[in-house]
């Protein structure tokens, strides 16, 4: 009796399974097809992406060989490549094109334009911080000090803190905001920069302290001159009054 009961139960389960498959086979088939299409599409996308990056790499290397410091137009191909490629090689091309403009033409504005275009081509924070740092330097070279400060504020990584604050200090010195410059240089030193950079920042910090001292001396001298002028003016008034009497 127990065996018969088990047999009946298994037959019922089998019938239920057959009934379930009969009602849902189309849905199951659709799910399998969708899954297969998804896998094939993913593999195709990976293959296409790999092929595209390989082509971009080859084109990038080829364009670098075309750069000629004596022919300023030789960079145009690299610039066009940077604008058309929305990947790592497009950003690298922007770095190289900007360097070419600076080294061979001192064209800071053109270099800035290329790098600003590259900002839209990556979400990698390291690359973005590198781009913002170089853009800020170029803006500094063009005396676009407020723009440079705003660009520096976009840098997120603490790894760039020393360089960013070093540039801030340079800007504040140009603006004669010496106390702000000292604060920026001290923040740069607190970020433990590389030895060479640390030495350079310390030298600029010392120079800024000297500029503040000179500024204070100038202010003191101005006050003395003003006081002397006022005293002389009063003496002249007294002399005139005595003469009229």
Instruction: State the angle between helix axes of 178-190 and 161-174 in degrees (0 to 180), rounded to the nearest 10.
Output: 170
The pLDDT tens digits of the residues spanning 95-114 come to 999 999 999 999 999 999 99
Whether residue 166 is found in the same domain as residue 110? no
Separation of alpha carbons 206 and 204, rounded Å: 5
> Cα Rg for the chain, rounded, in angstroms?
36
Task: Tell me, yes or no, whether 85 and 129 share the same domain.
Answer: yes
Which pLDDT belongs to residue 56?
Answer: 80
Please indicate, yes or no, whether residues 141 and 78 belong to a single structural domain of this protein. Answer: yes
Q: Alpha helices of the chain — where are they, by DSSP H?
A: 2-66, 76-84, 88-105, 108-118, 125-141, 145-152, 161-174, 178-190, 195-244
Q: What is the pLDDT of residue 219?
A: 72
User: Are both 144 and 172 inside the same structural domain?
Assistant: no
Domain that holds residue 101: 68-156
pLDDT for residue 29 is more than 60: no
How confident is the model at residue 243, as a pLDDT? 58
Whether 166 shows a pLDDT value over 90: the answer reads yes
pLDDT at 15: 72
* Residue 48 pLDDT level (bands cut at 50, 70, 90): very low
Q: What is the mean pLDDT of the chain?
A: 83
Q: Is residue 34 included in any domain, yes or no?
A: no
Decide if 226 is inside a domain: no
pTM value is 0.71
Lowest mean pLDDT among 15-29, 34-48, 210-224: 34-48
**39 within some domain:** no
**How many domains is the chain built from?**
2
**Beta carbons within 10 angstroms of residue 24's beta carbon:** 12
What local confidence, expressed as pLDDT, does residue 226 receive? 62
* Encoded tokens for 180: 């702000």
Residue 90 sits in the same domain as residue 151: yes
Q: Report which DSSP code applies to 121.
A: G
Cα gap 79→64, rounded to integer Å: 11
Position 8 confidence tier, pLDDT thresholds 50, 70, 90:
low
Gap between the Cα atoms of 166 and 161, Å rounded: 8
pLDDT-based confidence at residue 53 (cuts at 50, 70, 90): low
Residues 6+ apart with CB under 8 A from 140: 148, 167, 170, 171, 174
Residues 142 and 171 in one domain: no
The answer to the question of residue 239 being in a domain is no
Please tell me the predicted confidence (pLDDT) of residue 2: 46
């Amino acid at each position: 009796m127990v065996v018969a009961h088990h047999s009946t139960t298994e037959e019922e389960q089998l019938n239920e399974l057959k009934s379930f498959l009969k009602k849902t086979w189309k849905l199951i088939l659709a799910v399998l097809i969708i899954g297969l299409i998804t896998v094939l599409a993913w593999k195709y996308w990976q293959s296409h992406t790999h092929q595209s990056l390989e082509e971009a790499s080859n084109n990038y290397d080829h364009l670098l060989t075309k750069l000629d410091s004596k022919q300023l137009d030789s960079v145009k191909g690299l610039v066009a490549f940077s604008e058309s490629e929305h990947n790592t090689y497009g950003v690298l091309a922007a770095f190289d094109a900007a360097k070419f403009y600076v080294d061979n033409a001192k064209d800071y504005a053109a270099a800035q334009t290329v790098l600003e275009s590259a900002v839209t081509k990556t979400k990698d924070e390291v690359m973005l911080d590198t781009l913002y740092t170089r853009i800020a330097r170029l803006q500094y070279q063009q005396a676009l000090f407020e723009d440079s400060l705003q660009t520096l504020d976009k840098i997120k990584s603490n790894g760039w803190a020393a360089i960013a604050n070093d540039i801030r200090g340079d800007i504040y010195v140009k603006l004669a905001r010496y106390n702000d410059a000292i604060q920026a240089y001290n923040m740069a030193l607190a970020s433990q920069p590389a030895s060479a950079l640390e030495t350079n920042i310390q030298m600029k910090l010392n120079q800024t302290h000297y500029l503040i001292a000179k500024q204070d001396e100038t202010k003191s001298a101005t006050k003395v001159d003003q006081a002397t002028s006022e005293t002389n003016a009063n003496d002249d008034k007294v002399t005139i009054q005595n003469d009229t009497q």
